[in-house]
Amino acid sequence: MICLFTVGSLLGCRESQGPAPGEQGTIAIYSGTAAFPPSVIALISCLRFYGFETDTLGLAGLLGDGLDSFAVLVVPAGDPLEFSNELGPVGRSAIKQFVNAGGGYIGLGGGGAIASNDGVSPLYEGTSHWPINNIAPYPEIAITGIEVTFTNHPVTRTGQSHYWTMYRWGPEFFPASDANVDTLYLFETTGTPAAIAFEYGQGRVFLTGFQPEFEESDSRDSTDYGVNLGDPDSEWELLQRAADWCLWRL
């Protein structure tokens, strides 16, 4: 399965203002039917390990006023098309309004694809392409390398220059040449953008085409998903900095 998505720019970028709308800085992890359960579990384990206050948010909460209680929304691994069908136009609009008002958005794998899919929740101008068959065709998973390309961004400034990480049907990103989007990491195999960051309205957005939440060689993520892959390092620190950045702490 190959999908190419064209994205329309909705809002211009602005100077940093903050803070995000959730008064207590709580992070919501989307847990609707389309969300991959082990990814939700691993995200809870990762973010709570670093002291972040987290809670899950299902579809009913997202369609209602549930986002009002949160500062950042994390959408985990999952099939982008299933996310699209589940959220529908009301859910898509709620995500865009949340970020526009100052909320943060972290999209990992499928959660990154829906933020760059025209007709779902487009947040930047450009295209995304998934799966990346040169890394692993759908529905396979693999360990792949990512290399830092922007070393002076708050998310990358103190991190490693290279990580081994899980790939699970995530997108590669192709921002338009005039889009105000920072490419942070490239996929080692393809040389294409693996993680991007930018501002949308009053909020901040961090998207990846890989799954940094899984600790394939460590049980601290509370899941055994991907343990056979043998990841030699951890990307949890990357998620910690991304969350801090989306919370206007970096």
pLDDT digit string, tens, across residues 181-229: 999 999 999 999 999 999 999 999 999 999 999 999 899 999 999 999 9
- The more confidently predicted of residues 83 and 19 is 83
| Token pair listed for 180 | 């105000």
Task: Assign 236 a pLDDT band (cuts: 50, 70, 90).
Answer: very high
Q: Looking up tokens 């070393």, which residue turns up?
A: 151
- Residue 158: CB atoms within 10 Å: 10
pLDDT at residue number 9: 30
Pick from 203, 146, 201: nearest CA to 170:
146
Q: Is the pLDDT of residue 90 over 80?
A: yes
- The C-alpha atoms of residue 230 and residue 226 are separated, in whole angstroms, by 8
Please report, as a single letter, which amino acid is at residue 247: L
User: In which element (H, E) is residue 128 found?
Assistant: strand 126-130
Q: Decide if 188 contacts 167 (C-beta within 8 A).
A: no
| Token pair listed for 35 | 């969300």
Pick from 182, 175, 183, 167: nearest CA to 132:
167
Q: Is the pLDDT of residue 139 over 90?
A: yes
Structural domain span for residue 10: 3-246
Q: Which residues are CB-contacts of 4 (< 8 A; sequence separation ≥ 6)?
A: 127, 128, 129
- State the greatest distance between any 2 C-alpha atoms of the chain, in Å, as a whole number: 44
| 89 backbone dihedrals φ, ψ, rounded to 5° | -65, -35
| Token pair listed for 146 | 């990512």
| 82 backbone dihedrals φ, ψ, rounded to 5° | -70, -40
Please report, as a single letter, which amino acid is at residue 140: E
pLDDT tens column, 15-53: 345 554 544 599 999 999 999 999 999 999 999 999 999
pLDDT at residue number 117: 54
pLDDT at residue number 40: 98
- Percent of the chain whose pLDDT exceeds 70: 88
| 242 backbone dihedrals φ, ψ, rounded to 5° | -65, -40
pLDDT at residue number 82: 95
For range 114-130, the mean pLDDT: 77
3-state class of 18 per DSSP? Answer: coil
For range 81-87, the mean pLDDT: 93
Please provide the average confidence, as pLDDT, over all residues in the chain.
Answer: 90
Q: How many domains does the chain have?
A: 1
| Token pair listed for 152 | 């002076």
Strand-strand pairing, 54-57 and 27-30: parallel
pLDDT at residue number 126: 84
CATH number of the domain at 155, please: 3.40.50.880
For range 129-154, the mean pLDDT: 96
